[in-house]
Homo-oligomer: A and B are copies of this chain.
Amino acid sequence: MPFEYLPLPGAPVGQLDTPALVIDMDVAEKNISRLQKWANRNKMGVRPHSKTHKTPLFAHKQMAAGAIGICCAKVGEAEVMVAGGVKEILIANQIVGATKIARLVALANDASITVAVDDAANVRDLSAAASAAGREIGVIVEVDTGMHRCGVDGGAATRKLAKLIASSPGLRFDGVMGYEGHVVAQRDFEERKTEATAAARALVEAAEDLRKAGLPCKIVSAGGTGTYNITGTVKGITDLQCGSYIFMDGDYLEVFKDFSPALSVLATVISRPVKGRAVTDAGIKAISVDRGLPKVIGIEGAKVAGLSEEHGRLEVSGAAEKLKVGDKVSLLPMHGDTTINLYSHYACVRKGKLEAMVEIAGRGRSR
C-alpha cells in the first residue's frame, strides 16, 4: 500500500489536506486535567476508556495526569496499548473464543490485565488458558445495573460467578463493573442523577454482598463521561471509565459543557454548483452519522443538509454564500468514537499549527 501523504509539523491547520481529523491538543489536555482534578478532589479513581482515542499517546497523557489504568473494549485495542507501553489494562468487555483468549493471556507477560465476564463457561475458558500459560489474569463480574446489554444481576448470579472466579486457577477475582450506558446521554441533569445514582448503588450493593460472602472487591468500576460527577460521588465506586470526555463530541455537548470540544473534521469545499449549496469532500466515510449530522463550526449561515458516502452537502445563506471551491470548513462530529475509527491518523494541532500526525494504532482493531 502506498504511504499516505502526511504534512510536516508547523503547517497551519488551514493548509492541512482534507478530510482531516483535527485534535486541539491544548483543549484535549485541559479535558484530561479537568476530569483528573475533579476525581482527585473526590478521591475517585480515573480509568479512562481508550475506545475513544485508540492511541497510546493519549493513554499516556491520561496516566501521566494520574489515571490508575486504561480501559479497552477489545483485545486488539489492548494489544496496541500494551505494545505502546501501557502497563495497567482493564478490558471492560467479555472476551470469548480460543484465539482471543490466547492473545489476552499473552498480554499478561507485559502488563497487568483484568477482564470482565458474565458467563461461567467463559470463566472456565479463561482459567484453562491462563493456568496453562502459567499466568494470572484479573477477572471482574459485569453486573447489569439497568442498561440490559451484557452483565448478570447483582446478588445470587454475581455471587456464583465471583466464587467460580475466586476458585479458578490462573484467575484473580478483582471485583465488579457496571456501565450505566442507558443514562450517560440523558439530557436532563436531575433525571440523569436519579438514574445513574440508582445504577451505581446497585453496583456498590453487589460488591458489598460479595464482601459479606468473603470475596473482597478491589475494583467497583462504572461511569461514563455524562455521569462522571454523579457516579463519581457514590460511595463505594472505586473508579470511572469515562472515554469521550477527552475530545467531547456534538452529542455530549448537548448533555453538558463540563468538557470542551477538542475534535473536529476539516473539509474542503469541492463544488459550489448553485446559490444556496456548497459540497465538501467529507461524507460518511469521513464523519460518522450514527448520532446525527455534524455541525459547521464558526460559519454563520452554513448548515450540513446531508452526507452521502464521499460528499457533504451544505446549505448556505447570507455570509456563507461567500464560500468558494477550495475553502476549508470545520465540522463538529456528533459522535467522536465512531468518527475517529474511520481515520488512520490524527492531525494534532496546537495554537493553529500542526504539532504531529499521530497514528491511530487501535483503529479498526475490533477483534
Contact = CB atoms under 8 A, between A and B. Distances in A.
B365 A281 contact: no
A271 B343 contact: no
Interface residues of A, number: 72
Interface of A: 1-2, 4-5, 17-20, 51, 73-74, 76, 79-80, 83, 93-97, 99-100, 103, 118-119, 121-122, 144, 148-152, 181, 268-273, 277, 279, 281-286, 288-290, 308-311, 313, 324-326, 337-338, 341-344, 359, 361, 363-367
Contacts of A337: 285, 309
A151 B1 contact: no
Given A80-B2, A83-B1, A326-B121, A285 B150 contact: no
A361 B1 contact: yes
Given A100-B17, A150-B273, A325-B121, A364 B338 contact: no
Contacts of A310: 51, 73-74, 93, 366
A269 B94 CA distance: 10
User: Which of A1, A4, A118, A284 has the most chain B CB within a 10 Å cutoff?
Assistant: A1
B309 A118 contact: no
Given A150-B270, A151-B271, 5 more contacts: A5-B367, A19-B367, A118-B273, A149-B313, A342-B342
Nearest to A92: B310
Contacts of A364: 285, 342-344, 363
